[in-house]
Protein backbone atom coordinates (compact mmCIF):
# COMPACT_ATOMS: atom_id res chain seq x y z
CA UNK A 1 0.00 0.00 0.00
CA UNK A 2 2.68 2.53 0.99
CA UNK A 3 6.10 2.86 -0.65
CA UNK A 4 9.30 2.27 1.32
CA UNK A 5 9.97 6.03 1.21
CA UNK A 6 6.59 6.83 2.74
CA UNK A 7 7.20 4.30 5.50
CA UNK A 8 10.70 5.68 6.10
CA UNK A 9 9.50 9.30 6.39
CA UNK A 10 6.64 8.19 8.63
CA UNK A 11 8.87 6.07 10.90
CA UNK A 12 11.83 8.48 10.86
CA UNK A 13 10.43 11.91 10.08
CA UNK A 14 12.95 14.64 9.32
CA UNK A 15 12.81 18.20 10.65
CA UNK A 16 10.18 17.60 13.34
CA UNK A 17 9.62 20.38 15.84
CA UNK A 18 9.13 24.10 15.82
CA UNK A 19 11.37 27.11 15.36
CA UNK A 20 11.13 29.81 17.99
CA UNK A 21 10.80 33.26 16.44
CA UNK A 22 10.29 31.68 13.01
CA UNK A 23 10.43 34.02 10.04
CA UNK A 24 7.36 32.36 8.56
CA UNK A 25 4.72 29.98 9.90
CA UNK A 26 2.01 28.27 7.89
CA UNK A 27 -0.78 26.14 9.28
CA UNK A 28 -3.34 24.29 7.22
CA UNK A 29 -5.87 21.61 7.96
CA UNK A 30 -8.44 19.36 6.39
CA UNK A 31 -11.62 19.12 8.44
CA UNK A 32 -12.72 16.04 6.49
CA UNK A 33 -9.77 13.86 7.54
CA UNK A 34 -8.58 15.75 10.63
CA UNK A 35 -4.99 16.30 9.42
CA UNK A 36 -3.32 19.51 10.58
CA UNK A 37 0.13 20.64 9.37
CA UNK A 38 2.24 23.49 10.66
CA UNK A 39 5.48 24.51 8.90
CA UNK A 40 8.09 26.86 10.40
CA UNK A 41 10.71 28.68 8.30
CA UNK A 42 13.99 30.33 9.25
CA UNK A 43 15.15 32.55 6.39
CA UNK A 44 18.45 34.35 5.83
CA UNK A 45 19.19 36.35 2.68
CA UNK A 46 15.99 35.03 1.08
CA UNK A 47 17.17 31.43 1.58
CA UNK A 48 15.50 28.83 3.81
CA UNK A 49 18.24 27.90 6.26
CA UNK A 50 16.01 25.84 8.56
CA UNK A 51 12.55 24.37 8.36
CA UNK A 52 10.56 22.35 10.89
CA UNK A 53 7.08 20.88 11.00
CA UNK A 54 4.47 19.65 13.43
CA UNK A 55 1.74 17.48 11.99
CA UNK A 56 -1.28 15.93 13.60
CA UNK A 57 -2.58 13.25 11.31
CA UNK A 58 -2.09 9.95 9.56
CA UNK A 59 1.15 8.37 8.42
CA UNK A 60 0.83 9.89 4.94
CA UNK A 61 0.39 13.37 6.44
CA UNK A 62 3.56 12.95 8.49
CA UNK A 63 5.50 11.53 5.53
CA UNK A 64 4.44 14.34 3.17
CA UNK A 65 5.32 16.99 5.77
CA UNK A 66 8.73 15.38 6.30
CA UNK A 67 9.63 15.11 2.61
CA UNK A 68 8.32 18.62 1.87
CA UNK A 69 10.66 20.11 4.50
CA UNK A 70 13.56 18.15 3.00
CA UNK A 71 12.69 19.42 -0.47
CA UNK A 72 12.69 23.13 0.46
CA UNK A 73 15.57 23.25 2.96
CA UNK A 74 18.45 25.25 1.47
CA UNK A 75 16.27 26.65 -1.32
CA UNK A 76 15.46 30.28 -1.97
CA UNK A 77 11.95 31.46 -1.15
CA UNK A 78 11.23 31.66 -4.88
CA UNK A 79 12.40 28.07 -5.45
CA UNK A 80 10.47 26.74 -2.44
CA UNK A 81 7.31 28.47 -3.61
CA UNK A 82 7.35 26.28 -6.74
CA UNK A 83 6.89 23.10 -4.66
CA UNK A 84 3.90 21.13 -5.93
CA UNK A 85 1.92 18.30 -4.42
CA UNK A 86 2.85 16.27 -7.52
CA UNK A 87 6.56 16.71 -6.73
CA UNK A 88 5.90 15.64 -3.12
CA UNK A 89 4.12 12.47 -4.30
CA UNK A 90 6.88 11.68 -6.81
CA UNK A 91 9.56 12.11 -4.13
CA UNK A 92 7.73 9.56 -1.98
CA UNK A 93 7.40 7.10 -4.90
CA UNK A 94 3.65 7.57 -4.86
CA UNK A 95 0.71 7.68 -2.47
CA UNK A 96 -2.58 5.78 -2.46
CA UNK A 97 -5.39 7.78 -4.12
CA UNK A 98 -7.18 8.14 -0.76
CA UNK A 99 -4.10 9.88 0.69
CA UNK A 100 -3.34 12.34 -2.15
CA UNK A 101 -4.93 15.14 -0.11
CA UNK A 102 -1.95 14.89 2.28
CA UNK A 103 0.41 16.01 -0.48
CA UNK A 104 -1.88 18.95 -1.21
CA UNK A 105 -1.79 19.93 2.48
CA UNK A 106 2.02 19.80 2.47
CA UNK A 107 2.16 22.12 -0.55
CA UNK A 108 -0.40 24.48 1.03
CA UNK A 109 1.46 24.56 4.38
CA UNK A 110 4.75 25.48 2.68
CA UNK A 111 3.04 28.21 0.66
CA UNK A 112 1.24 29.53 3.76
CA UNK A 113 4.57 29.76 5.63
CA UNK A 114 6.13 31.62 2.67
CA UNK A 115 3.17 33.99 2.54
CA UNK A 116 3.53 34.64 6.28
CA UNK A 117 7.26 35.32 5.79
CA UNK A 118 6.51 37.77 2.98
CA UNK A 119 3.81 39.53 5.01
CA UNK A 120 6.12 39.92 8.01
CA UNK A 121 8.91 41.30 5.81
CA UNK A 122 6.85 43.41 3.39
CA UNK A 123 8.01 41.36 0.40
Average pLDDT for runs of 10 along the chain of length 123: 96 97 95 89 97 95 98 98 98 96 96 97 83
Q: What is the pLDDT of residue 86?
A: 97
Q: What is the pLDDT of residue 85?
A: 97
58 is catalytic: no
Q: What is the pLDDT of residue 11?
A: 97
From 37, 41, 43, 102, active-site residue: 102
Number of structural domains in the chain? 1
From 33, 36, 100, 104, active-site residue: 33
CATH number at residue 83: 3.90.1010.10
Q: What is the pLDDT of residue 33?
A: 75
Q: What is the pLDDT of residue 41?
A: 98
Domain range spanning residue 31?
Answer: 4-120
- Taking each helix axis as running N to C, give the angle between helix 59-72 and helix 100-120, from 0 to 180 degrees, rounded to the nearest 10: 40
Q: What is the pLDDT of residue 122?
A: 83
33 is catalytic: yes
- pTM for the model stands at 0.95
Contacts of 67 (CB under 8 A, 6+ apart): 5, 9, 14, 88, 91, 92, 106
Amino acid sequence: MYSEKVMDHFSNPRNVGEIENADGVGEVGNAHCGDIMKIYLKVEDDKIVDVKFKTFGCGAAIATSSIATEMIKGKTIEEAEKLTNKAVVESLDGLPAAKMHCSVLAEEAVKAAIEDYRNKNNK
